[in-house]
């Protein structure tokens, strides 16, 4: 075999929460646990190694006003990359970001197409806004455009009611979720409040974003059906400011947001204790900056999830859930090197020593 450049990564390779190896090799952008023949031009990285972090709820190509130009989307993706998030689930965007797939220096993106919302029941410029009779058709459209996911807006403020309320009748979501599943796509939904959750879960939904409205009545249902949640606690931290801004016009809505915020940690811990799968997501790209995956892992720990499980929610378990490899033999070498053991203190995630994407040290 001819001489070729390789990357030698040594230290403590955290293949899984309990599986640790001493070294790996990167050849032609892929992982090997055997020293390759002809490995003479060797670059070495050393430390505690994780698979690239996962942000399972972000929005590349989106800001508070809607779609952004490609150069802004590129900066968003690079910010995530440099923070160690190398696999992103884009949970709804009006931008076409397929061009990023040709860039081996940008994180890999799993897309959910564009949000699908009820007419005048979501942020302007974000979603397809449709009525229930058109929901199935739009779900089919986005299932074909996405990467195995579709994103619904399950609840939002009803201005006549002055509070959060469910957006869709039960029959509409049943038909829509069935159509997505027929096309091979999973379905997730934005849900802050309580009243949309039972219908969505009983209709067969696969995941719920935020899930601040979980209660003792619906937590067992989620656990029984295996419905995952992505709590986005770094986003839920903004609820008090949102409530203050809407107090004069929508006092019921504001009070509701404050209640959801006050019990956010108890809600997440109760979900975890019940066996509901919990994954890391930040909701970056709307009003929040990118690069917050480490902060979200820390928030899960604050909520009471054990550190190793919170770490898994943004690495090993999240990659398996999204159907993407970790530090497997022959997998793309997407990994992050840290100075100390992140299982002992997840705060180390905020300070990566090196970021390797597709076998190249990029940060």
Dist CA 55 CA 305 (whole Å): 17
Scored b (16 or more CB within 10 A) or e, 284-304 reads: bbbebebbbbbbbbbbbbebe
- What is the reported pTM? 0.97
Give the pLDDT of residue 43. 85
Dist CA 325 CA 328 (whole Å): 6
Residue 2 binned pLDDT confidence (cut-offs 50, 70, 90): very low
> What average pLDDT does range 24-30 have in this prediction?
94
Dist CA 102 CA 93 (whole Å): 19
The answer on pLDDT for 315 being more than 60 is: yes
How confident is the model over 98-134, as pLDDT tens digits?
A: 999 999 999 999 999 999 999 999 999 999 999 999 9
How confident is the model over 77-91, as pLDDT tens digits?
A: 999 999 999 999 999
How confident is the model over 164-207, as pLDDT tens digits?
A: 999 999 999 999 999 999 999 999 999 999 999 999 999 999 99
Mean pLDDT of the chain: 96
Give the pLDDT of residue 38. 72
> What average pLDDT does range 235-263 have in this prediction?
98
The answer on pLDDT for 1 being more than 50 is: no
Residue holding tokens 């806004």?
Answer: 129
The answer on pLDDT for 44 being more than 70 is: yes
Residue 162 binned pLDDT confidence (cut-offs 50, 70, 90): very high
How confident is the model over 270-292, as pLDDT tens digits?
A: 999 999 999 999 999 989 999 99
Residue 4 binned pLDDT confidence (cut-offs 50, 70, 90): low
């Amino acid at each position: 075999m001819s001489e070729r450049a390789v990357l030698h990564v040594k230290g403590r390779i955290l293949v899984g929460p309990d599986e640790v190896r001493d070294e790996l090799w990167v050849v032609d952008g892929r992982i090997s646990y055997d020293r390759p023949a002809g490995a003479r031009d060797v670059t070495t990285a050393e430390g505690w190694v994780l698979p690239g972090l996962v942000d399972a709820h972000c929005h590349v190509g989106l800001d508070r006003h809607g779609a952004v130009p490609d150069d802004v989307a590129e900066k968003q993706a690079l910010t995530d990359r440099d923070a160690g998030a190398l696999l992103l689930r884009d949970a709804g965007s009006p931008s076409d970001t397929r061009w990023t797939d040709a860039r081996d220096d940008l994180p890999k993106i799993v897309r959910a197409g564009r949000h699908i919302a009820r007419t005048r029941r979501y942020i302007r410029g974000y979603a397809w806004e449709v009525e229930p009779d058109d929901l199935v058709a739009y779900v089919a459209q986005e299932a074909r455009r996405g990467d195995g996911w579709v994103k619904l807006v399950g609840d939002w403020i009803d201005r006549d009611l002055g509070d959060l309320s469910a957006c869709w009748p039960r029959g509409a979501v049943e038909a829509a979720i069935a159509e997505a599943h027929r096309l091979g796509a999973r379905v997730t939904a934005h849900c802050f409040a309580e009243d949309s959750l039972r219908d969505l879960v009983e209709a067969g939904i696969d995941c719920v974003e935020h899930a601040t409205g979980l209660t003792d009545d619906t937590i067992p249902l989620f656990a029984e059906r295996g419905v995952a949640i992505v709590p986005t606690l770094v986003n839920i931290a903004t609820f008090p400011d949102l409530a203050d801004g809407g107090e004069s016009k929508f006092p019921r809505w504001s009070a509701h947001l404050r209640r959801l915020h006050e019990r956010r940690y108890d809600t997440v811990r109760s979900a975890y204790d019940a066996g509901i799968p919990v994954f890391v997501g930040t909701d970056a790209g709307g009003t929040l900056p990118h690069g917050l995956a480490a902060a979200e892992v820390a928030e899960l720990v604050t909520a009471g999830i054990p550190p190793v499980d919170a770490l898994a929610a943004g690495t090993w378990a999240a990659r398996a859930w999204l159907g993407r490899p970790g530090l497997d033999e022959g997998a793309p070498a997407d990994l992050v090197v840290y100075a100390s053991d992140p299982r002992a203190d997840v705060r180390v995630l905020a300070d990566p020593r090196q970021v390797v994407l597709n076998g190249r040290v990029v940060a």
